[in-house]
Amino acid sequence: MAKTISNIPDRDAIRKNFEGLYPSSLDALCEGIDNSFDYRPPTTPKKPGSVELTFEHKGDETHRVILADDGSGLSHEGMCNGLMIKRQQQANGSCGAYGTGWKSMWDYLATNPGIISQKNGKLCWCFYNEPGEGWELDVHEEGDEGTRAVRKLWTVYAVDSQEDGTIHIMNGLKKSFDVKELKKVLAWKYNTKIKESNVNIFVGEK
C-alpha cells in the first residue's frame, strides 16, 4: 500500500552540513565578503565602495562580528527569496543557489546571526532562529514591530546609514579569529579584486 511521507529535511542535519563546508573561519567569512563585492552598483576611483568588518570583544574573547557593505541592498521580497534554499538558481559563474551562502556562513560562525538591509531607504531584517525551532524565518520590513531598534543598529553599523547596503550581525561566535593574521590574509586574497572593483575592505576592533 502506498504511503505518503513528509519530505522536509531535518534542520539540524542540514545545519551540520553547512557547518562542514569551510576549512576555516576565514573561508566562511569570505562567503559574505564575496557577496559584498558582487552585489553592488558600479563604483569609480572617485567614489569607491566599502566592505567593513568589525570585531567586538568582551575581555579576551571576540563575541560578535559585523560585516557591512554599501552594496545594492535587499528589498523585503529579495531578502525572503535570498533566505529560501534553492528558491532560484543563479546563473553559472555567480554565487550559486540563493540561500545557501548566508546560512552556511552563519551556521559555521555564529549561534545567533542576523541580517539587516536597506534598499531605496526602506529597511528589512531577519534574525536566524535558534536550532530546534524549525525552518521558519521571520523576515520583517520597515513599519513592523522592532523597526526603531533595528534602525538604531543600522545607524551604528551601516557603512552609510543614508545609503543602500547590508549588514550581517554574527552574535555568539563559534569560532575564534586572529584579527592581525586575518588582515594580512584579506590583503593578499582580495588584492586584485580591490583594484579591479574599486571596493575597499576595512577591518576594525572594539
What is the pTM (predicted TM-score) of this model? 0.84
The whole-number pLDDT of residue 1 equals: 43
The whole-number pLDDT of residue 16 equals: 64
Instruction: Flag residues of the chain having pLDDT under 70.
Output: 1-20, 85-101, 129-135
Contacts with 163 (C-beta within 8 Å, 6 or more apart), sequence order: 70, 118
The whole-number pLDDT of residue 122 equals: 95
